[in-house]
C-alpha cells in the first residue's frame, strides 16, 4: 500500500483523491453513525443516570453498577449465559461438521437432505419455539409418547424445571443452528485439496484417520469462526428461552438471560432505562471478552499445533 | 491520509450529537399541559388510539367518528389501533418521543406512569363537570394515589363469571350441576379431581396473582397506598393452599410460568377444568373450541370479600395535544351513555355511565347463554371493585408470579415468598 500511494497521488489531483472515498462512504457512514454509534454512545451515557421511560433522569454515577452487583437476577443471568455457552458451543462446532461430511458428496437425493438440514435456519425462531413448546409440554407429544410406551410414570417437566427448561432451549438452539453452520463447513470442505486425501489413502489411512489428520486440521479456522459466532449468540440468547418458558423467565424466573433481564427492566411505561443501559454495557463488555477469549484460545492452539507437527512428520 | 484529524472530527461530531439528543435534555413543553380548564370549539384535527378494537369493531367506531365529525364541523379524527401485545411498550415509546395520540385508550395501571410524567390531562381541572356523567366508582378508578385529579374518562367495564368444563367434572366424579361456591369447596374438589384422575386432569391453570389474593381477602396495599401489604395472613393462607394443590397435581405444572392467556388456552384444550374469564370469552369458545362450548358451565366468581373484580378501560387526553378541546370533546363523546350502551350491544362489555346498567338489556335474561352471562355479570358489577392497585405495574406482576412459583416448587415458604415479593415491589415503588 505505502509503495502505491505516491503513484496514485501523482496521477490524480489532490482534492479529488481525498474527497472521493468519503463521498462513497458517506451514506454507509451516516447510517452507521445514526443507527449504531449514536445509540451506543447514548447507552453509555444513560448507564450513569437514573433515566426512566418517561423521565430524562439525572447523573447518578456508578449507582446502576452497584445495584447490578446486588441484583441476584443479574448473577442468575450470568450463570445461565455461561451454561448456555458451555452447552451449545461444542455441539454446534462438531455436529454441523459431521452433517456436512454426510451431505458433501453430490449423489442422488443429497440435495434433499441439504435442504432439510437447512430448513430450521430459515424458519422463524418464534414458530420453532412454539412447535417445540407443543412437543415438550407436560401433555405434549414427547411426554405423551413416553407415557404411552410406559417409559415414564408422570410427565417429564421439560418446560417447568429450571435446568430441563434451559437444556430444552439449548436443544432448540442447536437444532436450529445446525444447518447454518453446516453450510459454512460445506464451503470450507470443498477447499481441502483432494491430493491430501489421496496421499493419506496411499499411506494406508482409513476414513477416520483421514478425517482426523486431513479434514480436521483444514477446518481449524472455520471451527474457530463457528465457536466465536455460536458463543456470542449463545450468551445473548433470548427467543428460545422466552418462548419455551411461555414469555417468562422460567419457573421463579430462574432461567433468565441477560437479554431477557434488559428487556424486562426497560420495558413498559415505568421502564428503568438507566439500569437497562448499564446492563447492556456489561453485556457488550462480556461479549467482547468472550470473542477475544475464544480467538485467543484458537490461535494458541493452532500456532505450534499438534496436527501441524503431525502433518510435517507425514511428509 | 488525514486519519487522526478525521477521527477527531468524527468523535467531536458524535459527542455533540450525543449530548444534544441523549435524553438528558428536558422533555419538550407546550401544548395543553399548563393546567386550568380546557374549553373552546371542537374543530381541530386529532388522533384517537384504541387497543385491539379495529379487527372486530371497525364499523362501530367508524360510525361514532363520522357522527362526531358531523356534529362538530371542522373536527377531524384519525383512528389508530394497536395490537393487544406490547401495548404498554407502544405507549411508552410514543410518550417518550412526545408523540402520544391526542385521545388514548388506557387501563388504570397504564395511566399511572403517564400521569406521574405529566403526559395526560387532569380532567377534574381541565373539564370540571365531566365527572357527573359516570358512576363514582368508575371515575375514582382513574385517580392516582398521592396526586389530586382524575386522568382518564371511564370507558367500558368488564367483570367475569367463572367457566368450568362439565365433562371433566363428570369424569372426576364431581357434580357438574353444583360447582364450588367457596374457596374451600373449590380446593377440596380440585384435590378430589386430581386424585380421581391420578393427576391427569388439573382443576386450575394459574398460580394466584394480585387479583386472586384480593378476592381471597388479602389487602394489596396500606390505606394511603404507600406500601404493599399482600403478605398478610390471608395472602399467605391462599399461597399455602395453592402449594397443597400444586403438590397434588391439582394445578398444572405450566401454571408456574403461564399467564391468563396460557391458562385460557389450556382451558380451551381441556387440560384444566376451571377458568375465570370475562363475558366475551363465550363467543371465543363457540368459534375456537366448539367441543368445550357444548360442555361449558358458567358460575359466579368465588370471593371471600363478596366483591368481584372489575376491569376498567378509559380514554386519556394527551397533555401535549395541540387541540385539547377537540380531544376532550371527542373522548366525552365516545364515552357518553348513548355510545357506551351501543358498544355494549356490539360486544359483552358494560357501560360506566350513570344509570346505563338499569337498562333491561342488563337486568333481564333473554333466554340465551350470552344473556344469562350478561345479566349475571352486570349484577356482579354493582358491588365489584378493582383489586389491582394502579401502581402495580408489569414488573411487579412478573416478580409476584416468580416468587409464588418459588413457593410452589418448595424453594421458599409461602410466607417467605410473599415477604420477598412485597419487599421487591416496595423497592420498585420507591424508585418509581
Are A56 and B23 inside 8 Å of each other by CB? yes
| Cβ–Cβ under 8 Å, residues B250 and B196 | no
- Say if A156 falls within a structural domain: yes
Are B110 and A269 inside 8 Å of each other by CB? yes
With beta carbons under 8 A apart, name residues in chain B contacting A51: 23-24
- CB of B2 within 8 Å of a chain A CB? The answer is yes
Are residues B218 and B148 both part of a single domain?
no
- Say if B400 falls within a structural domain: yes
Please tell me the predicted confidence (pLDDT) of residue A2. Answer: 44
Count the helix, strand and coil residues of chain A and give each as a percent rounded to the nearest 5.
75, 0, 25
Are residues B75 and B148 both part of a single domain?
yes
| Distance from C-alpha of B422 to C-alpha of B432, rounded to nearest angstrom | 15
- Phi, psi for residue A181 in degrees, rounded to 5: -70, -30
Are residues B202 and B288 both part of a single domain?
yes
- Say if A201 falls within a structural domain: yes
Helix, strand, or coil (residue B361) = helix
CATH number for the domain spanning A239: value is 1.10.3720.10
- CB of B26 within 8 Å of a chain A CB? The answer is yes
- CB of A154 within 8 Å of a chain B CB? The answer is yes
Are B21 and A253 inside 8 Å of each other by CB? no
- Say if A20 falls within a structural domain: no
Which domain, by its residues, includes B409? 162-308+387-431
- Residue by residue, pLDDT tens for chain A (315 residues) are 444 444 444 555 555 678 888 899 999 999 999 999 999 999 999 999 998 888 888 999 999 999 999 999 999 999 999 999 999 999 999 999 999 988 888 778 888 888 888 988 898 888 888 899 889 988 889 998 998 898 888 888 898 889 999 999 999 999 999 999 999 999 998 888 888 888 888 888 888 888 888 888 888 888 988 998 899 999 999 999 998 887 788 888 899 999 999 998 888 777 889 999 999 999 999 999 888 887 787 776 654 444 443 333 333
* Secondary structure letter of residue B368 according to DSSP: S
Which domain, by its residues, includes A299? 58-314
Residue whose C-alpha cell is 444534544: B20
Are B26 and A159 inside 8 Å of each other by CB? no
Please state whether the predicted TM-score (pTM) of the whole model is above 0.90.
Answer: no
Are residues B112 and B200 both part of a single domain?
no
| Cβ–Cβ under 8 Å, residues A178 and A116 | no
State the total domains in chain A.
Answer: 1
Q: B81: which 3 cell numbers?
A: 389501533
Are residues B343 and B373 both part of a single domain?
yes
Are B395 and A245 inside 8 Å of each other by CB? no
- CB of A25 within 8 Å of a chain B CB? The answer is no
With beta carbons under 8 A apart, name residues in chain A contacting B408: 251
SS3 annotation, A152-205 = CCCCCCCCCCHHHHHHHHHHHHHHHHHHHHHHHHHHHHCCCCHHHHHHHHHCCC
CA distance A267 to chain B (A): 6
- CB of B114 within 8 Å of a chain A CB? The answer is yes
| Domain termination residue (choose one: B360, B381, B402) | B381
Please tell me the predicted confidence (pLDDT) of residue B216. Answer: 96
| Cβ–Cβ under 8 Å, residues B391 and B432 | yes
State the total domains in chain B.
Answer: 2
Are B411 and A245 inside 8 Å of each other by CB? no
| Distance from C-alpha of A270 to C-alpha of B431, rounded to nearest angstrom | 10
- Say if B20 falls within a structural domain: no
| Distance from C-alpha of A289 to C-alpha of A301, rounded to nearest angstrom | 18
Q: Which of B23, B199, B428 sits opposite A154 (nearest CB)?
A: B199
Are B394 and A46 inside 8 Å of each other by CB? no
Q: Which of A51, A248, A268 sits opposite B395 (nearest CB)?
A: A268
| Cβ–Cβ under 8 Å, residues A200 and A215 | no
Are residues B404 and B421 both part of a single domain?
yes
Please tell me the predicted confidence (pLDDT) of residue B10. Answer: 41
Q: A192: which 3 cell numbers?
A: 481441502
Are B402 and A54 inside 8 Å of each other by CB? no
Are residues B299 and B339 both part of a single domain?
no
Are A269 and B17 inside 8 Å of each other by CB? no
- Say if A73 falls within a structural domain: yes
Helix, strand, or coil (residue A61) = coil
CB atoms within 10 A of CB B249: 22
Are residues B286 and B410 both part of a single domain?
yes
- Say if B21 falls within a structural domain: no
Q: B179: which 3 cell numbers?
A: 360447582
| Distance from C-alpha of A223 to C-alpha of A199, rounded to nearest angstrom | 24
| Distance from C-alpha of A244 to C-alpha of B79, rounded to nearest angstrom | 36
CB atoms within 10 A of CB B340: 22
- Say if A21 falls within a structural domain: no
* Residue closest to B404 by CA, chosen among B421, B387, B423: B421
E strand or H helix at B316: strand B311-317
- CB of B25 within 8 Å of a chain A CB? The answer is yes
Please tell me the predicted confidence (pLDDT) of residue A17. Answer: 74
- Say if A25 falls within a structural domain: no
- CB of B394 within 8 Å of a chain A CB? The answer is yes
Are residues B127 and B235 both part of a single domain?
no
Are residues B344 and B424 both part of a single domain?
no
Please tell me the predicted confidence (pLDDT) of residue B374. Answer: 86
- CB of B419 within 8 Å of a chain A CB? The answer is no
CATH number for the domain spanning B281: value is 3.40.190.10
- Say if B7 falls within a structural domain: no
- CB of B63 within 8 Å of a chain A CB? The answer is no
* Mutation for A interface: B24, B202, B260, most A CBs within 10 A: B24
- Phi, psi for residue A164 in degrees, rounded to 5: -65, -35
Are residues B284 and B166 both part of a single domain?
yes
- CB of B199 within 8 Å of a chain A CB? The answer is yes
Who contacts B343 (Cβ-Cβ below 8 Å, separation ≥6)? B57, B60, B156, B349, B351
pLDDT mean by block of 10 residues, chain B; 432 residues: 42 36 35 67 92 87 95 94 84 87 92 89 92 90 86 90 93 93 95 89 92 95 90 96 94 83 85 84 85 89 91 93 94 94 89 90 86 85 87 88 93 96 92 74
| Distance from C-alpha of A62 to C-alpha of B402, rounded to nearest angstrom | 28
- CB of A136 within 8 Å of a chain B CB? The answer is no
| Cβ–Cβ under 8 Å, residues B296 and B94 | no
With beta carbons under 8 A apart, name residues in chain A contacting B113: 53-54, 268-270
Please tell me the predicted confidence (pLDDT) of residue B45. Answer: 94
Are residues B87 and B221 both part of a single domain?
no
Q: Which of B18, B92, B113 sits opposite A42 (nearest CB)?
A: B18
Q: What is the CA radius of gyration of chain B?
A: 24
* Secondary structure letter of residue B26 according to DSSP: P
Amino acid at each position: 500500500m505505502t509503495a502505491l500511494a505516491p503513484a496514485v497521488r501523482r496521477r490524480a489531483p489532490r482534492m479529488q483523491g481525498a474527497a472521493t472515498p468519503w463521498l462513497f462512504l458517506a451514506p454507509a457512514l451516516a447510517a452507521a453513525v445514526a443507527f449504531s454509534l449514536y445509540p451506543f454512545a447514548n447507552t453509555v451515557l444513560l448507564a450513569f443516570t437514573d433515566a426512566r421511560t418517561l423521565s430524562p433522569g439525572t447523573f447518578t454515577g456508578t449507582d446502576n453498577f452497584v445495584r447490578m452487583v446486588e441484583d441476584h437476577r443479574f448473577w442468575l443471568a450470568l450463570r445461565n449465559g455461561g451454561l448456555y455457552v458451555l452447552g451449545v458451543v461444542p455441539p454446534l462446532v462438531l455436529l454441523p461438521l459431521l452433517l456436512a461430511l454426510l451431505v458433501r458428496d453430490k449423489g442422488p437425493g443429497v440435495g434433499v437432505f441439504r435442504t432439510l438440514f437447512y430448513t430450521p435456519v430459515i424458519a422463524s425462531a418464534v414458530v420453532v419455539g412454539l412447535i417445540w413448546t407443543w412437543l415438550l409440554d407436560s401433555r405434549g407429544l414427547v411426554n405423551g409418547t413416553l407415557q404411552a410406551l410406559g417409559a415414564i410414570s408422570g410427565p417429564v417437566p421439560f418446560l417447568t424445571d429450571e435446568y430441563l427448561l434451559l437444556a430444552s432451549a439449548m436443544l432448540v438452539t442447536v437444532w436450529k443452528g445446525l444447518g447454518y453452520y453446516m453450510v459454512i463447513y460445506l464451503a470450507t470442505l470443498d477447499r481441502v485439496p483432494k491430493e491430501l486425501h489421496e496421499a493419506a489413502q496411499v499411506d494406508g489411512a482409513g476414513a477416520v484417520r483421514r478425517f482426523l489428520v486431513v479434514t480436521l486440521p483444514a477446518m481449524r479456522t472455520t471451527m474457530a469462526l463457528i465457536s466465536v459466532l455460536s458463543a456470542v449468540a449463545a450468551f445473548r440468547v433470548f427467543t428460545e428461552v422466552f418462548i419455551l418458558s411461555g414469555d417468562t423467565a422460567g419457573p421463579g424466573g430462574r432461567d433468565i438471560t441477560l437479554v431477557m433481564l434488559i428487556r424486562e427492566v426497560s420495558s413498559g411505561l415505568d421502564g428503568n432505562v438507566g439500569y437497562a443501559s448499564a446492563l447492556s454495557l456489561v453485556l457488550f463488555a462480556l461479549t467482547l471478552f468472550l470473542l477475544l477469549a475464544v480467538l485467543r484460545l484458537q490461535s494458541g492452539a493452532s500456532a505450534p499445533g499438534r496436527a501441524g507437527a503431525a502433518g510435517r512428520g507425514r511428509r | 491520509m488525514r486519519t487522526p484529524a478525521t477521527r477527531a472530527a468524527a468523535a467531536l461530531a458524535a459527542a455533540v450529537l450525543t449530548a444534544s439528543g441523549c435524553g438528558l435534555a428536558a422533555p419538550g413543553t407546550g401544548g395543553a399541559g399548563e393546567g386550568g380548564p380546557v374549553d373552546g370549539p371542537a374543530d381541530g384535527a386529532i388522533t384517537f388510539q384504541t387497543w385491539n378494537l379495529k379487527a372486530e369493531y371497525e364499523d362501530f367506531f367508524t360510525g361514532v367518528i363520522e357522527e362526531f365529525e358531523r356534529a362538530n364541523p371542522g373536527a377531524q379524527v384519525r383512528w389508530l389501533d394497536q395490537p393487544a401485545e406490547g401495548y404498554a411498550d407502544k405507549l411508552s415509546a410514543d410518550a417518550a418521543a412526545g408523540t402520544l395520540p391526542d385521545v388514548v385508550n388506557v387501563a388504570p395501571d397504564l395511566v399511572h406512569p403517564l400521569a406521574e410524567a405529566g403526559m395526560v390531562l387532569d380532567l377534574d381541572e381541565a373539564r370540571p363537570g365531566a365527572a357527573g356523567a359516570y358512576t363514582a366508582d368508575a371515575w375514582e378508578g382513574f385517580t392516582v394515589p398521592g396526586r389530586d385529579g382524575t386522568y382518564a374518562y371511564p370507558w367500558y367495564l368488564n367483570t367475569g363469571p367463572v367457566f368450568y368444563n362439565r365433562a371433566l367434572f363428570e369424569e372426576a366424579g364431581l357434580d357438574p350441576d353444583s360447582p364450588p361456591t367457596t374457596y374451600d369447596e373449590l380446593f377440596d374438589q380440585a384435590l378430589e379431581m386430581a386424585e380421581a384422575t391420578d393427576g391427569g386432569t388439573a382443576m386450575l391453570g394459574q398460580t394466584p396473582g394480585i387479583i386472586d389474593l384480593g378476592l381471597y381477602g388479602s389487602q394489596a396495599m396500606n390505606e394511603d397506598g404507600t406500601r404493599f401489604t399482600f403478605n398478610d395472613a390471608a395472602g399467605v393462607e391462599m399461597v399455602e393452599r395453592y402449594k397443597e394443590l400444586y403438590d397434588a397435581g391439582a394445578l398444572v405444572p405450566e401454571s408456574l410460568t403461564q399467564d391468563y392467556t396460557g391458562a385460557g388456552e389450556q382451558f380451551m384444550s381441556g387440560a384444566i377444568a376451571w377458568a375465570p374469564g370475562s363475558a366475551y370469552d363465550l363467543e371465543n369458545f363457540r368459534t375456537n373450541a366448539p367441543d368445550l362450548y357444548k360442555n361449558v358451565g358458567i358460575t359466579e366468581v368465588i370471593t371471600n370479600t363478596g366483591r368481584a373484580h372489575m376491569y376498567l378501560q378509559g380514554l386519556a387526553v394527551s397533555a401535549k395535544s395541540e387541540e385539547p378541546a377537540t380531544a376532550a370533546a371527542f373522548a366525552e363523546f365516545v364515552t357518553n351513555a348513548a355510545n357506551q350502551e351501543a358498544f355494549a350491544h356490539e360486544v359483552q362489555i358494560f357501560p360506566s355511565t350513570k344509570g346505563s346498567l338499569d337498562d333491561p338489556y342488563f337486568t333481564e335474561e333473554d333466554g340465551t347463554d350470552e344473556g344469562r352471562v350478561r345479566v349475571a355479570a352486570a349484577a356482579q358489577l354493582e358491588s365489584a371493585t378493582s383489586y389491582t392497585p394502579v401502581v402495580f405495574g408489569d414488573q411487579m406482576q412478573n416478580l409476584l408470579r416468580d416468587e409464588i412459583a418459588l413457593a410452589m416448587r418448595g424453594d421458599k415458604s409461602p410466607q417467605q415468598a410473599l415477604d420477598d415479593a412485597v419487599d421487591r415491589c416496595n423497592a420498585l415503588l420507591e424508585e418509581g
